[in-house]
Amino acid sequence: MGRQFRVYLAGESVFVCKQCGNHLTVKEGILSNQFTGQHGKAMLVHHAVNVYTGEPDDREMRTGKHTVRDVFCKVCHTCVGWKYDYAFEPEQKYKEGRYILERALVVEKPETGPDRGKPRIDELPVRELTARV
Point out which residues bind Zn ion (CB under 5 A): 17, 19-20, 22, 73, 75-76
CB 7 within 8 Å of CB 50 = yes
CB of 51: closest distance to Zn ion in angstroms?
9
CB of 73: closest distance to Zn ion in angstroms?
3
Residue 115 backbone dihedrals phi, psi, to 5 degrees: -90, 5
Return the number of the residue (54 or 64) whose C-beta is nearest Zn ion: 54
Return the number of the residue (22 or 25) whose C-beta is nearest Zn ion: 22
Return the number of the residue (44 or 75) whose C-beta is nearest Zn ion: 75
Separation in Å, CA 40 to CA 43, 48, 104: 10, 19, 7
CB of 113: closest distance to Zn ion in angstroms?
20
H helix or E strand, kind and range, residue 123: strand 120-123
Q: Is 33 helix (H, G, I), strand (E, B) or coil?
A: strand
